Structure 1
Amino acid sequence: MNSYASHEPLVEVAPLGSDSRYRLVRFRGHAWEPVDQQEFRAEAARLFPQLDLDDPEQVSWQDHPWEWPNWHPGEA
């Protein structure tokens, strides 16, 4: 049995479109913050080394898992 089953997820990801460049993410014990996909992976690994990013009990995506806003350098 998964030890996270009865607990809130370690990571919550806000809906796509909450920010034009990033996804808003809240890591347990921290405030919501805008991160890109690379920052998301790095911060998740730093804070929770054993985290399985594909486990919905550990990471809660409010919509569109693994999708990130289409932003290109130079855009406002």
Structure 2
Amino acid sequence: MENNTDRGPAAWLVEVAEFRTDSRYRLVRFEGVGWEPLAPEEFEPRVHEHFPDLDPHDPAKVHWADRPWEWPAWRPGEA
């Protein structure tokens, strides 16, 4: 399931890769910067660092490959 409009990758400023259970992070691509792994608490601050006026909930500019706003389960002490 995708949560974006008819716009494609050229319109996305932020792209979040598919959900994976083998890592606590999700890969996030920022336009003009590239991909980086982010934990849930890092996502919104990083979005605002790169794009101060961007609403992270804007599906026209922020694309989730699947499972929007979900991160793999992780407990402190796990690698």
Question: Aligned match of 2:45 in 32, 39, 42?
Answer: 42
Change (3 A) 1:63 1:11: same
Gaps of 5+ in 1: none
Deviation readout 1:18-76 (Å, 9 max, x if unpaired): 75110100111112111011211111011101111111111000000000110111113
Aligned partner of 2:71: which letter? W
Q: Given the two structures, how large is their TM-score scaled by the length of structure 1?
A: 0.84
CA distance in 2: counterparts of 1:40 and 1:49, whole angstroms: 13
Counterpart residue type for residue 26 of structure 2: R
Aligned-residue Cα RMSD (Å) equals 1.7
SS class of match (1:32): strand
Residue in structure 1 matching 2:76, options 56, 69, 73: 73
2:20 aligned to which of 12, 17, 20:
17
AA partner of residue 51 (structure 1)? L
Greater relative contact order: 1 or 2 (C-alpha under 8 angstroms, separation 6 or more)? 2
